[in-house]
Homo-oligomer: A and B are copies of this chain.
Amino acid sequence: MAGNSFGQIFKLTTYGESHGSAIGGIIDGCPAGLKIDSDFIQKELDRRKPGQSHITTQRKESDTVEFLSGIFEGLTTGTPIGFIIKNQNQKSSDYQHLKDNYRPSHADFTYQQKYGVRDYRGGGRSSARETACRIVGGAIAKLILNTKNISIHAFVKQVGHIKLNKTFEELDLSNIENTLVRCPDDEVAQQMITYIEHIKKQGNTIGGIVQCVIQNAPVGLGEPVFDKLHAVLGHAMLSINAVKGFEIGSGFDSINKTGAELNDVFVPTNKQINNKHQTTYTNNSGGIQGGISNGMPIYFNVAFKPVATIMQNQASINTKGQAINLEAKGRHDPCVLPRAVPIVESMAALVMVDFLLLNAVNKIGTV
């Protein structure tokens, strides 16, 4: 209800403010008997953590997760998994000036109006620091997906005007982590990095697009009508800080084609494309038809705006509504895209596991 839980059977609930003592959460509904690979989970957190390179914010957080319950001798027990990540590098004094001021395009104003009170330090609950907890949930979800051979890869497809003009099939997705910017094409990655360095020097910020690809998902995931697979994926992605748009498969570009051009023709089962069986010749559907996965790769784009925190002075107002000059302070990411990649993957993993569990009871024979 109050928006701090995600998922139905496999449910993540999170808590925590950017400058409170800790953030954390509870994963409820995780099947028992799952082997927990702590190194993998911490590695996923490291992909998101601040200070990982010169093109991210310099806030230093080890983002070490501590599991408090639900795991016994390395296996999940079916009971809720409580976890905590202690905040370490709060510089709340950097945010003292925000007590009485609102930053443009931040949540300062809306939180204050909605609740009548707010933890102004570092944006409090509205800070993207909260997404570290999504990584923990997503990493455990990925461990479940691994047992089904379902893989999820996200990468940076565009930063400002720098665009990767290749389809995911043309890319080596195993190269994503080899570049600071998490773009699998080395050449384009370098252009993106150079551009982000340029933006950073200006104390400015820039947005872009993350593409996510889910492979080997079984046919049948997603629920008809209101909880179509791409509707819930869209919900998940749009809940990430700074996201402004979502498109599945051919997305907004679908407008430029007719039905006759866009329809994905089925491959007869006795035919093979490039030595492998696939469901349809083309994949404008993005792996989803009627809201349900069809066996083809699921792919979607997520648009991130440039984050609102810039290192430039800005006109704004204070909590009394009076004009002020807001001085640039604190630490910030010139471009959140590289750190957003594991967040996108984590949210996708949460969605996929939830539908996988739900789908397990869809037929009378398997109940």
Interface residue tally for chain A (C-beta within 8 Å): 157
A303: B residues at CB distance < 8 A: 247, 251-252, 254-255
Q: Which listed segment binds B: A27-35, A42-50, A170-178, A179-187?
A: A27-35
Closest Cβ of chain B to A109, distance in Å, is 6
Within 8 A of B (CB), among A123-137: 124-126, 130
A153: B residues at CB distance < 8 A: none
- A160: nearest chain-B partner, CB-CB: B255
Q: Which listed segment binds B: A54-62, A70-78, A338-346?
A: A70-78
- The residue that A31 contacts in the complex, of B68, B251, B306, B364, with Cβ under 8 A, is B364
Does residue A248 face the partner (Cβ distance < 8 Å to B)? yes
Does residue A94 face the partner (Cβ distance < 8 Å to B)? no
Task: Please state if A110 and B294 are interface contacts (CB–CB under 8 Å).
Answer: yes
- The residue that A126 contacts in the complex, of B130, B290, B367, with Cβ under 8 A, is B290
**Can you show 5 pairs from A to B with CB atoms below 8 A apart?**
A4-B26, A78-B362, A106-B289, A113-B292, A228-B239
Given contacts A107-B292, A207-B262, A245-B247, 10 further A-B contacts (CB under 8 A): A14-B26, A15-B79, A110-B290, A110-B292, A144-B367, A204-B259, A228-B238, A231-B238, A246-B247, A259-B308
